[in-house]
Amino acid sequence: EHPSLIEVYKGNIAVADKSNWLEMFEYYLNKPKEREELAYNAMLIAQNEHTWKVRMEHFIDVLNKHYEK
């Protein structure tokens, strides 16, 4: 289980580990509608949360925490 990933992405990602990856693979292989929805949601997350602006805001926050005046 990856609770932090599930919490951050609110079920918009498929989380698998070595004990269930084949089951997850077969599930989404046989469910094209759910697979497309998952892919679309992942694309939206990437477009909205992995921009230069968001990354630089995070970078500045980290710097501020470590180098407070």
Distance CA 62, CA 6 (A): 23
pTM score of the predicted model: 0.60
> Using one digit for the tens of pLDDT, what is the confidence trace for 20-63?
888 888 988 999 999 898 889 888 888 988 899 999 999 999 99
Count CA atoms within 13 Å of residue 46 on its CB side: 7
Distance CA 34, CA 37 (A): 5
Q: Strand runs (DSSP E) across the chain, as ranges?
A: none
> In the numeric block, which tokens belong to residue 36?
């497309």
> In the numeric block, which tokens belong to residue 61?
């926050």
Residue recorded with tokens 């477009």: 47
